[in-house]
Every structure is written in C-alpha cells, then in structure tokens.
Amino acid sequence: MGNTFGRVFRITTWGESHGGAVGVVVDGCPPRIPITPEEIQVELDRRRPGQSLITSQRRETDTVQILSGVFEGQTLGTPVSMMVTNQDARSQDYSEMQNAYRPSHADFTYDAKFGIRDYRGGGRTSARETIGRVAGGTIARKLLHLRHGVEIVAYVQQIYNLEARVDPRHVTRALVEENPVRCPDSEMARQMYELIDQARRDGDSVGGIIECVIRHAPPGLGCPVFDRLEADLAKAMLSLPATKGFEIGSGFSGVLMKGSEHNDLFFASEGRIRTRTNFSGGVQGGISNGEDILFRVAFKPTATILRPQETVTPQGESTVLKPRGRHDPCVVPRAVTIVEAMAALVLADHDLRNQAIRNPAGPAA
C-alpha cells in the first residue's frame, strides 16, 4: 500500500535502509527497449553516498543487479526486477533512536500508523529507498528518448539563501556535473559548497531548490481532470524524502502578474504551434503543449543533525537526543538524479497511456 507509482508504466520499490537490500520491480515496460546494467549504474552512481565531503560518508557501491525482465540487452515486456545490496550499514549508530523520536523525522508518525518501525537508518523512510526510483527511472528515460528524443536535466538552483543565475534553456548535464553541488553556475556552486561544508562542520544542515527542465516532450501528455500532468509531477516530487514544495512555470511568482502579462501567446513556426513565452511551464489545462516543461522542487534541511535536541520517548517521557551516524548536511545535490528519475517515470507513464487512448485497438486498427 503506497509503494507503487504509475498506472501503465509502474514501479514498486522495496527494502529498508539497513535491511539486506533495496530494489524495484518495473511493470508495464514495453519490450525491446535496449538497456544495460551499466546505463543504470551511471545514474545510481550520481545518487550514491560518499561522493564528496558534503554528502553522507556511508560507503556503498550501489552495484545494481538485474534479476528479471531483460535478456540480451533488451527488455522482454515482462516485469523488470532490480536489486542493490546494502553493504555499509552501521545499525549500532541508531541504537539511541530506538527509544527516542528524532525531531522532524518519521519515527513518531510510523509508530502512530503501524505500531512498529525500523529505527535503523530510518528504515523505509530513508532516502536509500530512492535507489529503486532511480533504477526504474533510467528505463523510463531511455523509453522517452527513443520515442521522442526527450531530454531531462535537473540542477541545484538554490541552497539556503544562495541563488544561482541559470538559463534553463541552455543547461546541459555536462555543465551540471562539473561540480559536486550540481549547480551550473560555477561561482555560486563554489559558495554553495562552502556553505554546506560549514553546516556539516557545525553539525547542522541546510535545504534548497532543484529546478528541472524537460525538453522535446510531445504535446498531449496528461489526463483531465485528476491526472493532470502537473498534478502527477507534483505528486511524484512531493513523494520524495525531505520535499516541502513544488511549483511549475511561473509558480507562485505568477500572482505578481496580470493576465495580459502572464498569458502565453501562440504563433506558428515550421508547422508547429508554439508559445512566445512559457509562464505555463509547458503545461496548459493539465496537458503538455510541446514547450519545455519547467518546474522546481523545494527540499527542507536534513532532519537528522549532529546536535543535541529535545524530544520524547515512545512513552512520552522528555529526553535529549544527539544522533550519531552518517548524514547529508544537504540532500539537494544527490537529489538531482532522483528528481530526473521521477520526472521520467511520470512522462513515460503518460506517454504509454496516450498510446492506448489514441490507438486502443492496436496496430491492426
């Protein structure tokens, strides 16, 4: 319940942070999509801990194993099952959390819902669960690229009060990957790194914003009325650990504009219907219009910090908790690839749903 995402292209993730492994089952993937473990590993390496001083120092190779659904480098059309083993868990670092709720974490809420929780590393609430999303999203991205040439590029736009100046029309993955912050503004990336590192040394944490641009998405993706494309994108992004906000196109800044300023006027160019501006963020009426899809996701400061904090025990007794363990002082740089993966999953699902709607009887119709 709540572990499956998508209607046609569906993923189900499984596993806990300190369990034997984490993984994903991808169902609904069409056959003959070329995919290799190496392609998936590239994305998992972007997500894994231990990349630099400003990420968690947990040492995991995150080596993916494809257990089913792929044969001779192509998908079979059957469920694709993938697994990554946990190799560097230090469960003893979490012994104090057995009897104390971490502030702003899911300890209390999981107890309230299930009456039991895996306190080791946060269990199922850990961002380690997102390994399955990234693995499944890699296949979705490949599908979208083969069918439409879709490009998905996410990057760090803000850390705490430091904002990058970025033109999303020209950002490339190569530019994003030039620094460990994954911010394409090199000077601001340097300042962001220093700010995150200072928070780490202070035993504190900071949050930030990831911006994502999707290029070459075809018009017509999205389903009225409850499965609007921006609604599904919002759900996908807000399902990620530590997320607290989502906006698309002009977002909240649109309230400072009048309709005469905000409307995206149409024009025809080389046989295509285009818009002169893109305040809609590539989505109108819940359906993609063929322009770049542009959205932003806000991530809160990491909840687990290495400072003493007041809390209570499961019995309601006051106590002070100073967590141990290895934690990201800022989750945002590692979340870039996860945002891209979830965007790919949403678009791949809607693309396959569109295919069924427009040609329900199949190729012979």
- The CATH number for 333's domain is 3.60.150.10
Q: Is residue 151 part of a domain?
A: yes
Nearest to 221 by CA among 355, 318, 331: 355
Q: Which pLDDT score, from 0 to 100, does residue 60 have? A: 77
Helix (H) / strand (E) element for 10: namely strand 10-15
How many structural domains is the chain composed of? 1
To the question of pTM greater than 0.85 for the whole model, the response is: yes
pLDDT in tens, 50-94: 777 787 766 778 999 999 999 999 999 999 999 999 886 666 666
Residue 119 lies in a domain: yes
Taken as a whole, the chain contains a residue count of 365
How many angstroms separate the CA atoms of 179 and 274, rounded? Answer: 34
Predicted local confidence at residue 87, as pLDDT: 84
- Whether residue 139 is predicted with pLDDT greater than 60 in this model: the reply is yes
Residue 365 has pLDDT above 50, yes or no: no
Name the pLDDT band for 48 (thresholds 50, 70, 90).
confident
Q: Residue 154: which H helix or E strand, with range?
A: strand 151-159
Confidence class for position 360, pLDDT limits 50, 70, 90: low
For residue 211, give its domain range.
4-358
- State the Cα–Cα distance between residues 259 and 271, nearest whole angstrom: 27
- Tokens read off for 38: 């190496």
Per-residue DSSP letter, 137: H
Q: C-alpha angle 256/261/266, rounded to 5°?
A: 140
350 vs 153: CA distance, rounded Å: 19
Task: Give the residue among 336, 315, 17, 86 at the shortest CA–CA distance from 189.
Answer: 336
For the cut 90, the answer to whether the pLDDT of residue 132 exceeds it is: yes
Q: Which residues pair with 15 in a beta bridge?
A: 22
Burial class (CB in 10 A: 0-12, 13-18, 19+), 348: buried
Q: Are 298 and 251 in contact (CB under 8 A)?
A: no
Residue 363 lies in a domain: no
**Three-point CA angle 101, 134, 85, nearest 5°:** 70
Whether residue 32 is contained in a domain is answered as yes
pLDDT digits (tens, 9 = 90+) for 318-350: 999 887 766 789 999 999 999 999 999 999 999
Whether 321 is covered by a domain: the verdict is yes
Q: Is 365 part of a structural domain of the chain?
A: no
Q: Quick check: is 250 in a domain?
A: yes
Tokens, residue 95: 């012994």
> What is residue 336's predicted lDDT score, i.e. its pLDDT?
98
In a domain, 234, yes or no: yes
Which DSSP state fits 150?
Answer: -
- What is the Cα–Cα distance from 23 to 35, expressed in whole angstroms? 17
- What is the C-alpha separation between 66 and 80, in angstroms, rounded? 7
